Chain A
Amino acid sequence: MTRGLWDREMVAMLLLLALMPMALTWLWFGGAEAVGRLLFVLLISGLWHVIFMLARAQPPSFAGALTGLAVAMLAPQELSLLQLVLGISFGSVMAELIFGGWGRNVLNPATVTIAFLGFGFPAAPWPDFALPVAWAAIPALALGMLLGVMSARLIAGALAVILIAWLADLPIAPVLPAFGVVLALLVTDPVTSASTRTGGWLNGALYGALVTLFAFGWGHGAPVQVAVSAALLASLAAPLLDEIAIALWTARRRRRHG
C-alpha cells in the first residue's frame, strides 16, 4: 500500500534509521567480530531474498537489514557457520518469504530465527550486552516513536508493566537491558505487533508481563532468552489482542447506538 511518501521501503528505512543509535553502539563495543557477524547474517538473508525475487518475483526489501541486525545482535554465540545458516534460512524463509515478503508475515523473522537457534542448540551461550548498548535502546525507541514507525502505546504499555514490577520489588533488574534491546529490535516491529490502539497497549503490557514472569520463574533462563521468548509469545498473541480490541469496540458501538 502506498500513501503519499509512505510505502513499505520508507517504513523500513525509517526503522533502520531509528535503530541506528543502538546498532552503532553495539558495533563500537563489539568490534570487528560484530561487524563480521552482521555482514555474514546480511549475506545469508540477502541471498534468500534474491532467490525469492527470482523464483516468485517478490521485491526484496530493506527490512532484510532489520532482520539481519536483530539476528546478529541477539542470536546465541559460538554457533558454527552451518548452524547459523540453518537458523537464518529457516527464519527468513518460513517466517517471512513464503508469506509473500515483509509486510505480509505473521511473525517477525528475526524472532523466529533466534528462537529456532535457541531451542535447537540449547548448549550455545546467549549474548550479553555492554550496558551502553542497552542505554542506546532508549534513543532508538524515542526516535522510532518520533518518526511514527513504532507504536508509542505499545512501548508505554510495556514500560508501565515493568515499572509496576519494579515498584513491587520483583527481581527484574538483571533482565532490564535485554528487555530494552529486544523491545526496540523485535517487539515494536510494525508488521507483527498489534495494529489497533487498544491492541497496542495490550501487546506491550503482555510483553512486559511475560518478561516479568519469566525473570521471576524461569530458573536458568539467560536474560536475552527470557526477552526473546516473551517477544515470540507476545507477537503470537498480537492478532488475538487486535481481535479483542475490535470486539470491545463493536460491543461499545452496539451499546451506544443499539
Chain B
Amino acid sequence: MSSQPRLWTTFTEPLIRQNPVTLQILGICSALAVTTSVATALTMSASLTAVLVMSAGIISVIRNHIPSSIRLIVQIVIVASLVIVIDQLLQAYLFEISQRLSVFVSLITTNCLVLGRTESFARHNPPGRAMIDALGNGLGYSLVLILIGSLRELFGAGTLLDWQLLPTVDQGGWFTPLNLMLLAPSGFFLLGGLVWAIRSLLPEQVEAGEFTPPETGEDGA
C-alpha cells in the first residue's frame, strides 16, 4: 500500500480542497436549514461529525463481512442507530437546541455526506484511516456550516452565539437587521457565493463546461 496518500493528507484534503459541501455539493439540505444561527449550526456540525466518524469506524471494522448485495441496508441500519443515540442525547441535555433543529438531526441518516463517505471510503479502508477521513469530511462540513451560520446570524440579527455584536435599531443602536438573512433563500445565495469565491481561488475545482458555445462572430468573440 505504498501508493496510499499519507494520513495527514487524508485528513486535510476534505477541509477545503475536497470539501464535501462546496466541491461535491453534498449535504446541502441541512446546510441551508440549520444555519440561521451559530448555535444550531455548531450542534448540527458536532452531531454529524460524531455520526460520521463512528459509522465510518464501525463499517470499516466489519467491511469484510458485509455481503455486497445488502451493504446499503447494513450501512443505513448502522447510521440510523447512531443517529437515534445522538438525537436522544441532544433531547436529554440540549433540549432547547434540539427543538430548534427539529427533524434535521434525525435526517442525518439520509444525509448524502454520511452514506457517501461510508460507501466510497470506509468500505475499502482500515478503521483508522476511515475514521480520519470521516473526521476530515465532518470538519469540512462544519467549517462551511459555521461560516454561513455566523454570516446569517450576524447580518440577520446582529448577534453571534446570542451575544449582541451589532446593536440593532430596536435596542437603540444603528444596525438594521437584514431579515432576508433569516429566510432560506439567503442560505442559497451565501453558499453559491462561497462556492464562487473558492473556485475563483482554486480554479482546478471548476467543472468542465457541458458544451462549447458556437462562434457568433461578435466582436472579440
Contact = CB atoms under 8 A, between A and B. Distances in A.
Interface string A43-62: 00000000000000100000
Nearest to B178: A120
| Interface size range of chain A in the complex | 10 to 19
A31 interface: no
A2 B179 contact: no
Nearest to A118: B180
A1 B220 contact: no
Interface in B29-58: none
Contacts of A90: 189
B186 to A, nearest CB: 9
A68 to B, nearest CB: 22
Interface secondary structure of A, over-half rule: helix
A1 B219 CA distance: 10
Nearest to B183: A119
Contact of A94 (B176, B179, B189): B189
Interface in B180-196: 180-181, 183, 189, 196
B179 A120 contact: yes
B216 interface: yes
A251 B167 CA distance: 61
Contacts of B216: 1
Nearest to A93: B193
A129 interface: no
Q: Which of B176, B179, B216 has the most CB of A within 10 A?
A: B176
Contacts of B178: 86, 120-121
B179 A122 contact: yes
Contacts, number: 23
Interface in A75-108: 80, 83, 86, 90, 94, 98
B179 A57 contact: no
Interface residues of B, number: 12
B218 interface: yes
Interface string A104-134: 0000000000001001111000000000000
B218 A121 contact: no
A83 B180 contact: no
B176 A1 contact: no
Q: Which of B178, B189, B196, B216 has the most CB of A within 10 A?
A: B178
A61 B77 CA distance: 58
Contacts of A83: 176
A59 B33 CA distance: 38
A109 to B, nearest CB: 14
Nearest to B185: A119
B189 A120 contact: no
Contact of A119 (B179, B196, B218): B179
Nearest to A120: B180
B189 A121 contact: no
7 contacts: A1-B216, A2-B218, A83-B176, A94-B189, A116-B180, A119-B180, A119-B183
Given A121-B179, A122-B179, 15 more contacts: A2-B217, A2-B218, A57-B220, A80-B176, A83-B176, A86-B178, A98-B196, A116-B180, A119-B179, A119-B180, A119-B183, A120-B178, A120-B179, A120-B181, A121-B178
- What are the 5 tightest A-B residue pairs by CB atom distance, in nearest-first order? A120-B180, A120-B178, A119-B180, A120-B179, A122-B179
